[in-house]
Chains A and B, each alone.
Chain A
Amino acid sequence: MTALSIGKIRAMSKEQWKELFVKNAIYIVILAIIAFIIISEPAFLSFTVFRNILTQSAVRLILAFGVGGIIITQGTDLSLGRSVGFAAVIAGSLLQRADYASRFYPDLVALPLVVPLLLACAVSAFFSAINGWVVAKFKIHPFLATLGMMITLYGVLSIYFASGAPGPQPIGGFDTRYTEFVIGSTFGIPHLVIYAAIVSVIVWVLWNKTTFGKNLYAVGGNPEAAKVSGVNVSKTIILVYIMAGVLYGIGGFLEAARIGSANNGTGFGYELDAIAACVVGGISFSGGIGKVSGAITGVLMFTIISYGMTFIGMDQYYQYIIKGAIIVAAVALDAKKYIKKT
């Protein structure tokens, strides 16, 4: 935009204006909605609201990075939500207060936080790796491979959930170390925001500064060109799914403590929010395109809109209609860039 001098703006033809408008239409619409929210309720512009929005975005962003990498390879992941749920139940079951009445493992000693975190990540990464392997080796469409995994995982997760000492009951009464670690804040900055920032930096480095990242974009942009140039396409795909699994593990670990309980329904539907945020943020289903900043923008936009609409007291059902329309519009505008005219 810096290159756009006034002269250039004046010189722009009608066609160019139209193109600029179409290219950014989705952001224009979202900004209009935000403007509408602010006008109806000026109190929306406050530090508290800002902090709440960032906090609410944190876990979503970590999950969006996971599925975003997969989308860059022309894939998708429906098993995200169940994977997050499983990670949440694992972390929760291992981190309950010693004096809590219905503990999942009544005789469990107080574990260092890192143990349940690593376990949650390992389990999610394991199932996600299976997704990647099935997609890479059997060329099954990621929608179907991960649909199967979504259903399978619900089974496995529910069996584990029911196997605890009190039976299938929501897991709560978390260790204060755990809840403080997740929902506390330092110097007024919520921990969740700090974690999301750290993950953002790591993902940015992985996507942009490593061979894996470069291969990821190449495989997504043109798998044939990548293969002919000697990139191990299958390995790249499996790695991106494993990376997603690790992020789901982190997300599940944080989510249990954020909500304050976990059960076998935790995480249900999260994949749709994450995928929608990626798409709105410009991570294209046609592959090879997508930035860390895009995922951040997408997640923030979605959170601002849902928070804002609730803030002005809009009925939740109307919110669904608006969100749904935004997703379809975002994808349609994205596709419009690639449709070949004949």
Chain B
Amino acid sequence: MQEYLLSMKGICKSFSGVQVLKDVHLEVKPGTVHSLMGENGAGKSTLMKCLFGIYRQDAGEFFLDGQAFNFTDPKHALENGVSMVHQELNQVIQRTISDNIWLGRYPVKRFFVDEKKMRADTLALFAKLNIHLDPDTMLHTLSVSQRQMVEIAKAVSYDAKVIVLDEPTSSLTDKEVDMLFDIIKVLKGQGVGVIYISHKMDEIFRISDYVTVLRDGKYIGTDSIQNLTIEHVVNMMVGRDLEDRFPPKTNEPGSVHMSVRNVSTKYEPQVTDVNFDLRRGEILGIAGLVGAGRTELLEAIFGTRTLLSGEVQIDGKLIKNNNPHVAIKNRFAYLTEERRETGIYPLSDITFNTTIANVAAYRNKLGLLRKDMMEKDTDQQIKAMRIKTPGKREPIRSLSGGNQQKVIIGRWLLTNPDILLLDEPTRGIDVGAKYEIYQLIIKLAQSGRSVIVVSSEMPELIGITNRILVMSNGRMAGIVDTDKTTQTEIFHLSTKYLNNSREAEV
């Protein structure tokens, strides 16, 4: 038997010139749990996508039982005993548990599906894993943790040698986490290797045998859990170096501009009881893990998410952003996180993309739109924002990510906003363009506008903001002064309400 079930050696991957994985190593021994850690965007999911053949690595090799291989797709991996249980479960929720487990390989007896065998096999499988569920239960009636168990059982039914669990506990209660860990222990006992991706330190130290840390796509190190402390791992994750990648903060926060009081949202994923003041000319960062409610907080302020309670005041006056239309009238602007999904109109030209949020301003007396005015403003924005494009009639799709982002920021500036909500403004943008966007944000704050920036990159938050609000599991874990804080402190805050809070609510 090989020492390692699965090894990844020197994996490199880049997307349009940006290196997202650089010489990454990971080795999984049978019957162990190997945790993979790193901040958002450290390259964990890219590494997994390379493993499962969704991406093809530029360099490096994967070995399964000592044999070099490359999976062509997740199904191929599954058939070879490597499977992944995603955070977003990929299941047919309209069907039963046993339908889902045996999907694609139903036992057939004389033309008909052998339901009896399916049921018996499912029960046998569940017995092995100590899962107590009726195989005929519809999946949509199960809790997330139960669905997760079904997915793990499915992986086991394919004789899985290696199972990847991607943030499996992100929506589980403590009790459910215990149940999951029991199953993981059973798997370990059967010689299965588990790759465990999570941000939660206490869990990592409870369940892992080894930890590997990635940062900015780089391999930082691997060690046995006995040799590590939480401090140690956090330092590996956040690093200590802050290079000179940010323009000087020349903005000066003034009096209170916007007050957010006791804001909670009505529907899942929820934000609970958020309070903060935003000062005029301030850049306020929002930090937190994926799913901490950062985007949801911006949506609540901008009026695309229904409030349960709480209020927002501008200069001491109560305002109600019931929908984006009102929010824009109240001089808010919201740059969304998913540029491709909710930001650009890919096939339309730059003029359309620049003027669309403010299109009513270009009507002439007859109510028809004045193309000349629209094009004039677009030209102005192209110049002011230094957008690199052959012309204003290019479809925005043909521009680079950074230039698309500038167009969208330009779009919002035309609405003459007072408060800018920017969600991951530099995601997927190369380093040079990032600097320009930082400059732009600081310039906007300098001109007396107030800015909220959500970002998963801690160096970025520390580099450009005045204060940082840290979200944790839908709640506000604290606000820190950027000059006085450390990445370690922010990281600790961002895990403050993990696990326990859900139990507390119940």
Tell me whether A214 is interfacial, beta carbon within 8 Å.
Answer: yes
Tell me whether B166 is interfacial, beta carbon within 8 Å.
Answer: no
Flag the segment in A40-48, A91-99, A176-184, A228-236 that touches B. A228-236
Within 8 A of A (CB), among B98-135: 99-100, 103-106, 108, 111-113, 115
CB pair A221–B95 under 8 Å, yes or no, is yes
CB pair A221–B112 under 8 Å, yes or no, is no
Q: How far is the CB of A88 from chain B (nearest CB, A)?
A: 31
Q: How far is the CB of B322 from chain A (nearest CB, A)?
A: 13
User: In the assembled complex, which residues on chain A have CB atoms less than 8 Å from the CB atom of B417?
Assistant: none
Q: Select which of A215, A218, A225, A342 is within 8 A of B305 by beta carbon.
A: A342
Tell me whether A217 is interfacial, beta carbon within 8 Å.
Answer: yes
Mask for A210-222, Cβ within 8 A of B = 1, else 0?
Answer: 1101110110011
Tell me whether B93 is interfacial, beta carbon within 8 Å.
Answer: yes
CB pair A211–B95 under 8 Å, yes or no, is no
User: In the assembled complex, which residues on chain A have CB atoms less than 8 Å from the CB atom of B104?
Assistant: 215, 218, 226, 229-231
Q: Chain A contact residues: over half helix, strand or loop, or mixed? A: helix
Within 8 A of B (CB), among A119-178: none
Tell me whether B259 is interfacial, beta carbon within 8 Å.
Answer: no
Mask for A277-304, Cβ within 8 A of B = 1, else 0?
Answer: 0000000000011000000000000000
Instruction: Tell me the nearest residue of chain B to A211, going by C-beta.
Output: B106
Tell me whether B92 is interfacial, beta carbon within 8 Å.
Answer: yes
Tell me whether B15 is interfacial, beta carbon within 8 Å.
Answer: no
Q: Select which of B90, B105, B304 is within 8 A of A224 by beta carbon.
A: B90
Tell me whether A10 is interfacial, beta carbon within 8 Å.
Answer: no
Tell me whether B87 is interfacial, beta carbon within 8 Å.
Answer: no
User: In the assembled complex, which residues on chain A have CB atoms less than 8 Å from the CB atom of B340?
Assistant: none
CB pair B103–A226 under 8 Å, yes or no, is yes
CB pair B267–A341 under 8 Å, yes or no, is yes
CB pair A211–B108 under 8 Å, yes or no, is yes
CB pair A226–B75 under 8 Å, yes or no, is no
A287 CA to B246 CA, complexed, in Å: 49
Q: How far is the CB of B303 from chain A (nearest CB, A)?
A: 11
Q: How far is the CB of A66 from chain B (nearest CB, A)?
A: 21
Q: How far is the CB of B103 from chain A (nearest CB, A)?
A: 4
Tell me whether A336 is interfacial, beta carbon within 8 Å.
Answer: no
Q: Select which of B73, B103, B112, B266 is within 8 A of A210 by beta carbon.
A: B112
A296 CA to B91 CA, complexed, in Å: 28
Tell me whether A227 is interfacial, beta carbon within 8 Å.
Answer: yes
Tell me whether B74 is interfacial, beta carbon within 8 Å.
Answer: yes
User: In the assembled complex, which residues on chain B have CB atoms less than 8 Å from the CB atom of A14?
Assistant: none
CB pair B103–A342 under 8 Å, yes or no, is no
Question: Known contacts A214-B113, A217-B95: does B75 contact A230 (CB below 8 Å)?
Answer: yes
A12 CA to B13 CA, complexed, in Å: 56
A72 CA to B92 CA, complexed, in Å: 13
CB pair B112–A214 under 8 Å, yes or no, is no
A134 CA to B199 CA, complexed, in Å: 45
CB pair A229–B103 under 8 Å, yes or no, is yes
Question: Known contacts A210-B112, A228-B78, A231-B104: does B299 contact A218 (CB below 8 Å)?
Answer: no
Q: How far is the CB of B424 from chain A (nearest CB, A)?
A: 18
Question: Known contacts A209-B112, A214-B113, A341-B266: does B92 contact A222 (CB below 8 Å)?
Answer: yes
User: In the assembled complex, which residues on chain B have CB atoms less than 8 Å from the CB atom of A225?
Assistant: 90-92, 100, 103
A215 CA to B99 CA, complexed, in Å: 9
Instruction: Tell me the nearest residue of chain B to A72, going by C-beta.
Output: B94
A228 CA to B267 CA, complexed, in Å: 31
Q: Select which of B75, B105, B113, B299 is within 8 A of A209 by beta carbon.
A: B113
Q: Select which of A214, A228, A340, A342 is within 8 A of B299 by beta carbon.
A: A342
A288 CA to B94 CA, complexed, in Å: 6
CB pair B75–A222 under 8 Å, yes or no, is no
Q: How far is the CB of A117 from chain B (nearest CB, A)?
A: 23
Mask for A190-215, Cβ within 8 A of B = 1, else 0?
Answer: 00000000000000010001110111
Instruction: Tell me the nearest residue of chain A to B74, going by C-beta.
Output: A228
Q: Select which of B94, B115, B304 is within 8 A of A221 by beta carbon.
A: B94
User: In the assembled complex, which residues on chain B have CB atoms less than 8 Å from the CB atom of A341?
Assistant: 266-267, 306
User: In the assembled complex, which residues on chain B have CB atoms less than 8 Å from the CB atom of A288?
Assistant: 92, 94-95
Q: How far is the CB of A219 from chain B (nearest CB, A)?
A: 9
Q: Which of A209, A222, A226, A289 has the most CB of B within 10 A?
A: A222
A226 CA to B75 CA, complexed, in Å: 10
User: In the assembled complex, which residues on chain A have CB atoms less than 8 Å from the CB atom of B74?
Assistant: 228
User: In the assembled complex, which residues on chain A have CB atoms less than 8 Å from the CB atom of B267?
Assistant: 340-342
Within 8 A of A (CB), among B455-488: none
Q: Which of A214, A288, A341 has the most CB of B within 10 A?
A: A214
Q: How far is the CB of B365 from chain A (nearest CB, A)?
A: 38
Q: List 25 A-B contacts (CB under 8 A).
A: A209-B115, A211-B106, A214-B103, A214-B106, A214-B113, A217-B99, A218-B103, A218-B104, A221-B92, A221-B93, A221-B95, A222-B90, A222-B92, A224-B90, A225-B91, A226-B92, A226-B103, A226-B104, A227-B75, A228-B74, A229-B103, A230-B75, A231-B103, A231-B104, A342-B267
> Besides A218-B99, A342-B306, 9 other CB < 8 A contacts?
A217-B95, A218-B92, A221-B94, A225-B90, A225-B91, A229-B103, A230-B105, A341-B306, A342-B299
